[in-house]
Chain A
């Protein structure tokens, strides 16, 4: 059963506009959330994270929002750049767990 879901397999955005990638989870015990970015022929790389005690974390053009009551998080990229075109995975960790649960990924295409 998929505990972390990314319901949009793909997203296209014009350069300079905002990209919003969404992620839903089912396990209320998750206490830490991460976003990874993956280019073709490369492994995923860490992008940004957020603890469950926060509702927002910002790093440059990237902001992650967490809505615990809705079990929903989102990644905002502003402004979007062609180099942001990649597959984005959200991931979640349970308290005390070693494992991360990954979503299925969203392919973002930023159109110049």
Chain B
């Protein structure tokens, strides 16, 4: 079974802090994604990566950046955290050949105070 691991289950940060959310997958998937989940808004794509060092903006990239230095690891960076970035963050991965079957991590609940 595919395992997508997010480094933290809960995080509390202060406004203006730089925040790193880490995600690791163990199935050699080419594609990795970062979503945020908010009540009433569903899952919205922040960034995705289809290969090492490659990235594409999703629907809501503002205030975020990403890093993919190794195939198994995809990091989401909040350069200067703000209260409106308080959310559940979900990492997902997918094989390049699979038809959109995403495998998700358990999520990181980030609170920015």
Q: Which of A's residues lie within 8 Å of B, judged by CB?
A: 2, 4, 6, 9, 32, 34, 36, 41-46, 49, 89, 91, 93, 98-100, 102-105
**A34-B100 contact given A44-B90, A98-B48, A98-B50, CB 8 Å threshold:** yes
Task: Provide 26 A-B residue pairs closer than 8 Å at the C-beta atoms, listed in order of the A residue.
Answer: A2-B42, A32-B99, A34-B100, A34-B101, A42-B106, A42-B107, A43-B4, A43-B90, A43-B103, A43-B105, A44-B43, A45-B104, A91-B43, A93-B100, A99-B48, A99-B58, A100-B100, A100-B102, A102-B35, A102-B42, A102-B44, A103-B42, A104-B40, A104-B41, A104-B42, A105-B42
| Pairwise interchain contact A43-B43, C-beta atoms closer than 8 A | no
Q: Does B45 touch A at the CB level, under 8 Å?
A: yes
Least CB distance, B67 to chain A, in whole angstroms: 19
Given A9-B40, A98-B56, A100-B102, 5 additional A-B pairs, CB 8 A: A41-B106, A42-B107, A43-B104, A49-B99, A91-B43
Q: Which of B's residues lie within 8 Å of A, judged by CB?
A: 4, 9, 31, 35, 40-45, 48, 50, 56, 58-59, 90, 92, 99-107
- Bound-state Cα–Cα, A3 to B19, Å: 30
| Pairwise interchain contact A44-B58, C-beta atoms closer than 8 A | no
| Pairwise interchain contact A46-B42, C-beta atoms closer than 8 A | no
| Pairwise interchain contact A43-B92, C-beta atoms closer than 8 A | yes
| Central interface residue in A41, A44, A46, A91, by most chain B CB within 10 Å | A44
